[in-house]
Amino acid sequence: MSVVVKDTKGAGVKALTMRFKEAAAAVLVGVPAGAKEDDEASTPIAMLAAVHEFGAPSRHIPERPFLRPAITEGRPDFIRLNRANMRRVARGRTTIKQALGELGELGKRKVQEKIKAGPFRALRPATIAARKRRSEGSSKPLIDTGNLRQSITWILDDGKAAEGSKVLR
């Protein structure tokens, strides 16, 4: 989040500007690297998320992006929330951390809604048939068990939190 403040009131505005600069953090929305399916032997959910987000042509899995479109489509809502929260922070009605938390929750919700609503390229008939043989899952892309949608979360990244992790920016 970037902030531009004009110094028209003196020390108060300077102090507020310093609070924003000191709290500089990014809200990261997605699947944590350590998230796994219920079965320990299964593929990490972060890997499944990446495969669906970008596709895996060698495995005949088409791109079914849910993260990037959710963030792009949610941009007007993020802007509206940030504007309201900036006013609340400036008036001392909330903290910067709380404002960023609200932004993270909104991002999480937008991604989960995108997973549920799509639209995504349909599953292959063989995939649907395999799921029916197991008597579980869904014939809707990205919804088989619901684990992907439930694994979506957010963190505040102050530049250190994602250290050692792969983060899409």
All residues at 6 or more sequence positions from 155 whose CB lies less than 8 Å from its CB, including other chains: 27, 28, 32, 104, 161, 162
pLDDT tens figures, 52-63: 999 999 988 899
pLDDT value of residue 138 = 67
Q: Is the pTM of this model over 0.85?
A: no
pLDDT attached to residue 107: 97
Domain boundaries, the chain: 28-157
Q: Find where tokens 């495969």 sit.
A: 51
Q: Residue 153, SS3?
A: strand
Ranges of the chain whose pLDDT falls below 50: 162-169
Q: Tell me how far apart the alpha carbons of residues 126 and 120 are, in angstroms, rounded to a whole number.
A: 17
The pLDDT value given to residue 168: 45
